[in-house]
Structure 1
Amino acid sequence: MKFEEMTVGAFIDELASNSPAPGGGSVAALCGSLASGLTAMVGNLTIGKEKYRDNWETMEKVFKESETLRASFVKLMNDDTDSFNIFMAAMKMPKDTDEQKAARKAAMAEAAKTTTDVPLRTLEACAAAAKLACEAASFGNPNAASDAGSAALLADAAGKAASYNVRINLPGVKDEVFAAECRTRMTKALEEIAVYSKKTAAKMEEALG
């Protein structure tokens, strides 16, 4: 069953169980989807309101991009757990002969790349979500300022959580070129999130006093 087909209660029960997946990576993506959902809501509360006509065009763009991101995050929730299960399957491969050991090692190395790539994509999506939340805080309905601020905080937390999942999986990656690229992308995304989070926090101080 896909996570989006589960009730909130069922997902939390599964999360709290003794199964290692879903775990932090899927939760990071879930928080990203919640951030995008809140930002989309701010868009909906702005577009069509005559008082904010000057900001309609900007917020329509924010809304559309947030909806696209929201769907991406939901897919990443499932991808994260799927990639973990593939890695575990590789670990359980037979290792009685040299050939089996070599096949297992190769499968684990390839699976490690996937378990690193998925949270990295989640992290980069969180950077995009942080940017949109910042725009919502700047141009959205001021009555929903706290929602835009909450979206920014969720995107920030989700991005950091995703980065932890990247870092814990990187040691299993044997492709040094791929690993270096992942580190570069991770640093860039975290820096972007930090910039937008700071801007949004300043907006919250102005809006909420």
Structure 2
Amino acid sequence: RGFSPPPPADAAAATSSDTSSFQLFAVTPLETLMVNPRYTQDPQYLTHYEFLGRAVGKAVYESILVEPQFCLPFLNTLLSKSNTLEDLKNYDPEYYASLVKLMTMSREDIASTGLTFEVNIYPDQQDAVELMPGGSNKLVTKDNVIQYAHMVSHRLLNQQAAPQIRAFLRGFRDLIPAAWVRLFSSHELQKLVSGDDSVQGIDVP
């Protein structure tokens, strides 16, 4: 059938699709944590994320290290930064590489894939999500493949878990002011949260 991007990282791929909806975070191929967009079955699910955000904020405030590492695209959201296609490599390198390969293919090879402006979010489900209204009927071509790649990464990194991330951020900002955390890059924030000898604790106002 020709080239087709592999499914993106998901908790179901790391464990089991039967339990993935009960996990607050999904494990990425880089063995870091990303908010699990499938965790919605509990009516209070956003409260859970807000509580966790507050707990992580308290840990940062008190210079207590959190052992699991969050993926850099998730930390970008804590910095109020929108993720781009380049950030996809820090979430799922294989998926990023497949999109880069797609963008370099010839006009004929892209046409042979039959790809449309949709993305399959979960490996264990056949339903695709449209990237734009009418996306299921819009073919990916050499002329729009760059737009397609950017829309895929935007959907995966910025949109699919937006309610959960906003709830986490509310809790986190209860203790860590937005103006303070924006002083750091996502790499620096990762070190502050999970620990690194090169980053020293900083007083939070």
TM-score (norm 1): 0.32
Structure with greater strand share of residues: 2
Higher RCO structure (Cα 8 Å, ≥6 apart)? 2
Structure with larger Rg? 1
Structure with greater helix share of residues: 1
TM-score (norm 2): 0.33
